[in-house]
Structure 1
Amino acid sequence: MKLYVVPTPIGNLEDITIRAINILKSVKFIACEDTRRIQILLKHYNIEGKTLLSYYHPKEAIQIRKIISLIRKDEDVALVSDAGTPSISDPGFKLINTCIKENIPIEVLPGPCALITALVGSGLPTHSFMFLGFAPRKSQESFYKEVFSSDAGSYILYESPQRILDTLELISYIEPNITVAIARELTKIHEEYIRGNIKDVIEELKKRNNIKGEIVLVLSKENTLNKESN
């Protein structure tokens, strides 16, 4: 049988394909980061009777062998993450890589991905981009200097609301004229984009008492948001 890689909504539960729902209905086993999160989705679509396998970084090695064993016993397994596409800053790469090495079929479904949604909505260049995953906690200055030495049209990273201001201030020190788009709470009720020169965006955030929600940060050295640039 095979491993199905199934993207799940990044916020709005309606952002899932018919095919993804059918796969989740058809398989007996679902490998997931947090069983509580996937149960919300399954309940929303009246999907019952599934065996949920906890699959997250500390348990990856053990669970990979268990999942491989199930597939070899003629069971299909669906891999999901808490939100978005598995393996993109979420567990999944090692399992998929192992399946390929062991000649186990995989089928990847297209679907929600926060970094692509944020990039498209940012208004910043999409012809080339660099995805940085989660912002680093150490050696940040050297990291960003190396990143911005590349020629990508846009740079995308995930950041927490608690650290976003510190991250922007450091980037502003390295690239004072860089353009920024903050995508916050994508597909949810309070979805918001904050766009502009990095210094203006920093000032806007400083006016807010409390920054909340999941954040995708998009940056570009090309000032495409300036009306005169058109």
Structure 2
Amino acid sequence: DAHASESTHLTIINDIKNGKSVAMVSDAGTPGVSDPGVLLIQQARKEGLRIDAIPGPSAITTAISIAGIAGNQFSFLGFVPSKKGRETFFKTLTTFSQPVVFFESTHRIMKSLDQLANHYPDATLYIGRELTKMHEEMLVGTPADVLAILEATPVKQKGEFVVIVSQG
């Protein structure tokens, strides 16, 4: 839970210590990958508790698997900073020789595409929208191409976005 308090985490930790089996399912992603579930994992580690993973869907690998790029090397950068550091984030993408993957929110996708168009007009973008959901799609093109698609169809500006930037 994105809003679970430390006391909730301690209650869960105590339940485990008392012999209960606990499973964590996150509605915000995979725990530890741009998800607040990492806080519970960290607390469990501090307590020396056993943690097992059951692989599940990952927006990152789902996007790479359907983008059609070689996914043997890429860099994942999490969410784009919402305010401070945003411009620096986009400027530093040139330092990566492999594709870069990041998440963006429905409220900032257009701004991010505009910044990508300014900094990397020739890059190829692969944007997974609503992956594993009914309206799943992969938009592919230059930043200007994808921006035009979303401007022409405002409903496509809604959803959860995984952005892959390939400069090669």
Give TM-score scaled by structure 2 length. Answer: 0.89
Tell me which residue corresponds to 1:112.
57
Which residue among 4, 7, 12 is the counterpart of 1:67? 12
Give TM-score scaled by structure 1 length. Answer: 0.67
Tell me if the contact between 1:84 and 1:111 (Cα under 8 Å) persists in the aligned partners.
no
Q: Structure 1 residues 62 and 148 mapped into 2: Cα distance closer, same or farther (>3 Å)?
A: farther
Q: Offset of 1:212 from its aligned partner?
A: 2.0
The one-letter code sitting in structure 2 at the alignment partner of 1:114 is: A
Once the two structures are aligned, what percentage of the paired residues are identical?
Answer: 39
Tell me which residue corresponds to 1:27.
none
Tell whether 2:96 aligns with 1:150. Answer: yes
Could you tell me which runs of 5 or more consecutive residues in structure 2 were left unpaired when the two chains were aligned.
Answer: none
Superposed, 1:134-145 pairs within 5 Å as 134-138=79-83, 139-145=85-91
Tell whether 2:137 aligns with 1:189. Answer: no
SS at match of 2:117: helix
Q: Offset of 1:124 from its aligned partner?
A: 2.6
The one-letter code sitting in structure 1 at the alignment partner of 2:121 is: P
The one-letter code sitting in structure 2 at the alignment partner of 1:86 is: P
Q: Offset of 1:83 from its aligned partner?
A: 5.4
Tell me which residue corresponds to 1:40.
none
Tell me if the contact between 2:80 and 2:89 (Cα under 8 Å) persists in the aligned partners.
no
Tell whether 2:115 aligns with 1:170. Answer: yes
Tell me if the contact between 2:129 and 2:161 (Cα under 8 Å) persists in the aligned partners.
yes
Moved over 6 A (4+): none
Tell whether 2:124 aligns with 1:212. Answer: no
- Please give the root-mean-square deviation of Cα atoms over the aligned residues, in Å: 1.7
The one-letter code sitting in structure 2 at the alignment partner of 1:183 is: G
Could you tell me which runs of 5 or more consecutive residues in structure 1 were left unpaired when the two chains were aligned.
Answer: 1-32, 34-55, 223-230
Higher Rg of the two aligned structures: 1
